[in-house]
Amino acid sequence: MKLFGYALGIYTGGNLEIKEVSTLKFMCTFNGKMEVFLFLLSLGLLLLGFVGAVIPGLSGPPIAWLGLLCLYLVPSTDIPSWMLVATAILAVLSLVLEWTVPAYGTKVFKGSKYGVRGSYVGMFVGMVLPIPFSMLLGPFLGAFIGELMHDPQDRQRAIQAAFGTFLGFLFAILINFLMVSLVALIWGYYTFIWMLSFW
């Protein structure tokens, strides 16, 4: 099964080769420069995905998946469409977990809705502040401040909720890193197979 329909006929090595390919791939067969561009773009997106995996809010798995999509669009690669769809589903799932796990960690450690909301505010603030580790400290401080606004006398619970948020973000980073690593393994395997076709 190919993605988005079928098209026939691509040029390889200066000769016309009749081959069943997807419509998207057919659009990328104008010349060899397009293949090089797509490959370099896929590599860049994959590396950016690893960066995004350890930076909360950047969402590394979807970026890495876009890199896999670019490699899929290289006409001479043979990445199955079902694998592209499966990894897309996993990327979306990891994106959902990235936004929900920290808040869940706040609740597990007896945090209130104020701590959950504060963690989200802190995450957004941490994304824009040019301070080292602000994207990790932001949710922690946000949950802590949110809990103090809810109950200024119970600092112990505020610290617990903030700690739960911090653990949630660490877990989300682990999930993102594993997902990007999976995409990287798939990318590397099909890149290796593609390179062998030139030998």
Highest mean pLDDT among 116-130, 144-158, 171-185: 171-185
Q: What are phi and psi of 121, to 5 degrees?
A: -60, -45
Measure the CA–CA gap between 18 and 10, rounded to whole angstroms: 6
Contact criterion met (CB below 8 Å) for 47 and 40? no
Angle at 154 between CA 106 and CA 162, to 5 degrees: 25
Whether residue 141 contacts residue 169, with contact meaning beta carbons closer than 8 Å, is answered with no
Q: Is the pLDDT of residue 16 over 80?
A: no
pLDDT of residue 194: 86
Positive/negative CA dihedral, 6, 11, 15, 16? positive
Q: What is the pLDDT of residues 124-159, one digit of tens each?
A: 787 777 776 677 788 788 888 888 888 888 888 788
Among 82, 72, 79, 99, CA closest to 176: 99
Q: What is the pTM of this model?
A: 0.71
Q: What is the mean pLDDT of residues 82-91?
A: 94
Q: Residue 22 — pLDDT band, cuts 50, 70, 90?
A: low
Longest dimension (CA), the chain: 78
Determine the pLDDT at residue 32. Answer: 64
